[in-house]
Amino acid sequence: MDRMKEAEKSRRVHDMFGAIADRYDFLNHFLSANIDRRWRRACLREIEKRTAVSRPRILDVGCGTADLSLLFSRWGPVTGCDFCRPMLRIGAGKIAGGMRHEPVSLLEADALALPFSANSFDIVVSAFVMRNLADIERGLGEMRRVLRHGGAVGILDFGMPRIPFLAALYRFYFLRVLPRWGKMISGVDGPYGYLPRSVQAFPPVEELKQTVERAGFVNVEYKKLTGGIAILLVGNAGQG
């Protein structure tokens, strides 16, 4: 993607989340029947298996309204970054509401140019962000750069189930029901039509695993969650 198209995609994604920020949490939990919470917990469990540090420094890339940051704050101090200020504002409200354990600090930043020096974190996680990035390789490269050698990475996103009956049911929900309900509840046309399109355009998890490995991660494994509706990739930062 050339720089102009990248900038255009980033701007569209930024504006879209800005427009639905106030209703994002409700929509997320409602449209996924709360299963999204289970997926984030699965991410925490898998990352725990790969981390020996007792109080790790954690980065949540594209933290949005900070759900994953708050979950990981049970374990260590979290920095959440996102380029959409309205999403961060909602997250800041939840943090101020006392839902955290360890400190959580939020920062406005682009996942494609993270404002942290190399080796700053023991864990980098990111939920439902990758498919929105204008340049996935650059985003992964940035995650690798700020992670210390051996540190753990966890990436959660949507997938497309392949079990025939579930796939048909899911496609119907995803392509027909979700865009309409999303528009009805958020009052905004676009984002919930964009969601299925972006998931369909996203590489299959096997291919994504190779992209993650090329970015410098080792021991990369993936899990399909809820029959493949979500995917979780975990790995460790390789040498250099």
Ligand X SMILES: C[S@@+](CC[C@H](N)C(=O)[O-])C[C@H]1O[C@@H](n2cnc3c(N)ncnc32)[C@H](O)[C@@H]1O
For position 68 contacting ligand X by CB under 6 A, the verdict is: yes
Which one of 125-133, 164-172, 180-188, 209-217 is the stretch in contact with ligand X (CB under 6 A)? 125-133
For position 128 contacting ligand X by CB under 6 A, the verdict is: yes
Cα(200)–Cα(192) distance, integer angstroms: 13
Based on the number of CB atoms within 10 Å of its own CB, is 224 exposed (0-12), middle (13-18) or buried (19 or more)? middle
Please write down the long-range contacts of 236-239, taking CB distance under 8 Å and 24 or more positions apart. Answer: 236/50, 236/150, 236/151, 236/152, 236/153, 237/144, 237/147, 237/148, 237/149, 237/150, 237/151, 237/152, 237/153, 238/144, 238/149, 239/149
Member of 133, 152, 155, 230 binding ligand X (CB under 6 A): 133
For position 132 contacting ligand X by CB under 6 A, the verdict is: yes
Least distance in angstroms from the C-beta of 165 to ligand X: 27
Cα(154)–Cα(234) distance, integer angstroms: 5
Kindly tell me which of 138 and 150 has the beta carbon lying closer to ligand X.
Answer: 138
For position 86 contacting ligand X by CB under 6 A, the verdict is: no
8 A C-beta contact, residue 156 and residue 128: yes
Closest residue to ligand X, Cβ-based? 64
For position 143 contacting ligand X by CB under 6 A, the verdict is: no
For position 153 contacting ligand X by CB under 6 A, the verdict is: no
User: Which residue's structure tokens are 């399909």?
Assistant: 224
Kindly tell me which of 80 and 161 has the beta carbon lying closer to ligand X.
Answer: 80
For position 64 contacting ligand X by CB under 6 A, the verdict is: yes
Write out the residues near ligand X by the rule CB under 6 A: 10, 13, 17, 62-64, 67-68, 82-84, 87, 110-112, 127-129, 132-133
